[in-house]
Structure 1
């Protein structure tokens, strides 16, 4: 069971950069015994509602979450205050874990910063000149039409390197050249073709244009200003950090990254993302052929009732949800290598949002929280 609104240590509050609410937060720990359990539960529900979440609804969701064997951790923040932290199993909340393809959302943030700093010209910048050294022999002329925006929105038109093509791609001697040599399945700027190789091309563009590794940029442009830890992650044979997969971030640090987006790129009085980048990133430019969700610049989008949800999605259930209308940020971390390999519990994570967490925030808002 979770204790409702135990006071958060001031040091943790400073590290997270989140506003502490009067009376504290909800943390995953054993509750102190109450003289009258019914009175204690009622008081907890009333206190929770005034701080932004309906405690009974949240607890119902946590009961469901504890029954999901693949789910490792849940963190919920509202109005910038951490209200729920629960480690169900697996690594601790401060331990960097593989966020899988949620890395694509981080890569999008780095791209926006690169544009803001003049390292890249903008989303309409052609990428072929930057990647000239890795263009295949007799390149398809359409490669010259590829832009930064096409890579970020998965509308490069190039054949997939994900799915059944993934193994062949990551065992190739040059990942960038292999991705650029894939046959075109649509014109650049056409339909969404989800491919991690397309994101890797964006990592290579950042590396070539800046003269620095993607990891160095992540540490300098996100890690330092956000106060989060971003350890090195795998590189391709040429030393380009894997674009769009295998980044490492702790659940608490992933929440901090999500708060940056909830706050429109400015946090602790410091602008980190260019003005307007969050809105541009969240605007859907394509539609996933599998889920039907919209896709912008590294972010998926869907609706839950009247509320827009923008989310980063990593294989196995590494999820970062942001609901702007409710000032809600939610992290869910799962087993990154489920057996059998499947996204079978992903619908359950979306159901937790739709059935429990969002209604809890709505009820909290109705109660004045």
Structure 2
């Protein structure tokens, strides 16, 4: 059973109730209330708010400092999506509609479902591969296996490719491995060279599967300031400080509706969630526990939040409070700033 979704009034009331001994925050005056409210969320570690390229809030409430790489959980899926757009521009893959099987070597099961060879890069990006999903309660068993990609491809298909969104880290792990193979490198080196270096951020090595493939879609580590720079690049059509990071056409494609998301009223693109608040389009990356990058093009706004990765974030709890902070406090302040 899915968690019920807060109404706007309920979410804001819950946010207010979560405040613990608020203190004055060092922040731009328009966003100071947001920083003060954020301090009271005991699961929240850090908050950064940038508008028009100016850093209005840069607060660490608990946990590592703003320059220390932290586990961004499924924000990794959004980073892998960016790498797919870069690979497409470089000609390493011919199209998002190209089958992914030729980029996986001999890992496709010989007697596997015929539909496996129909799965495209687009299907993996949009979580519409049709593969059995491995996320949430099924994630632990999957990563305890001996061959994560083979196991994902061997499990019974539950839908035709392109017909149903089934959120799964296996999708982006397959995608990340295919992109690394297409570039004849590993996913860590690919991410550092194509995202880390141009954005001036360090991407330390992270989890690998038993075959040595870096996990695509989870456990990447990025500093909060690095997350902000990534969000700013998307805000500016894929470039930052005059350096092209991601093709502008890929940014546009990533922010198009492909399927409904797990939160009613929200949608999913290429690794990004899509949300409209009072006519204002909000695009966000989301990771377990409350690792967030919000990009609001109409307000020239980027918001980054990092949180305790050991605690869940649901719409009846921490995630609902983070969305409420954006909807009820940050967005109104951005209209006045």
Q: Normalising by structure 1, report the TM-score.
A: 0.82
| Structure 2 CA distance for aligned equivalents of residues 160 and 175 of structure 1 | 12
What are the Cα deviations for residues 223-265 of structure 1, in whole angstroms up to 9, with x where unaligned? 1111111111111011111110000000001000100100001
Return the match for 1:217 from 190, 204, 212.
190
Please, which runs of 5 or more residues in structure 1 have no aligned partner? 5-25, 27-47, 49-54, 365-369
Tell me if structure 1 keeps the 8 A contact 2:290–2:313.
no
Partner in structure 2 of residue 165 of structure 1: 138
Report the alpha carbon displacement of residue 137 of structure 1 after superposing the two structures with TM. Answer: 3.2
Contact 2:237 2:247 in 1 (8 A): no
Q: Deviations over 1:94-133 (max 9, x none)?
A: 0100000011000000111111111111201101122241
CA gap 1:289/1:185 in 2 versus in 1, 3 angstroms: farther
**Does the CA contact (< 8 Å) of 2:35 and 2:57 recur in 1?**
no
SS at match of 2:127: coil
Count of residues in correspondence between the two structures:
312
Give the aligned partner of residue 329 of structure 2: 356
Tell me the equivalent position of 1:116: 89
Q: Please tell me whether residue 90 in structure 1 is matched to residue 63 in structure 2.
A: yes
Deviation of 1:342 after TM superposition, in Å, equals 4.8
What's the CA shift for 1:159?
Answer: 1.1
Alpha-carbon distance in 2 for matches of 1:182, 1:321? 34
> 1:290 deviation in Å?
4.5
1:205 pairs with 163, 178, 194, which one? 178
In structure 2, distance between residues paired with 1:164 and 1:62: 33
Conserved? CA contact 1:134–1:177, under 8 Å = yes
1:3 aligns to what?
26
**How far 1:349 moved relative to its partner?**
0.2
RMSD value over aligned CA atoms?
1.2
Cross-structure match for 1:256: 229
Kindly indicate whether the alpha-carbon contact (under 8 Å) linking 1:155 and 1:188 is maintained by their aligned counterparts in 2: yes
Provide the C-alpha distance between the structure 1 equivalents of 2:248 and 2:292, rounded to a whole number of angstroms. 25
Secondary structure at the residue paired with 1:357?
helix
2:299 to 326, 342, 356: 326
In the alignment, the residues of structure 1 paired with residue 82 and residue 274 of structure 2 have an alpha-carbon distance, to the nearest angstrom, of 16
CA distance in 2, matches of 1:138, 1:110: 31
Deviations 1:30-88 (A, max 9, x none): xxxxxxxxxxxxxxxxxx5xxxxxx2xx2222222111100000000001111111111
Quote the Cα distance in structure 2 between the aligned partners of 1:361 and 1:84: 12
Secondary structure of 1:276 counterpart? helix
TM-score, structure 2 as length reference: 0.90
Instruction: Give the 3 Å change call, closer, same or farther, for CA 290–329 of structure 1 in structure 2.
Output: closer
Q: Show the counterpart of 1:239.
A: 212
* Kept in 2: contact 1:160–1:182 (CA 8 A): no
How does 1:306-345 map onto structure 2 within 5 Å?
306-338=279-311, 341-343=312-314, 344-345=317-318
Q: Structure 2: 5+ residue runs without aligned partners?
A: 1-23
Whichever of the two has the greater Rg, that structure is 1
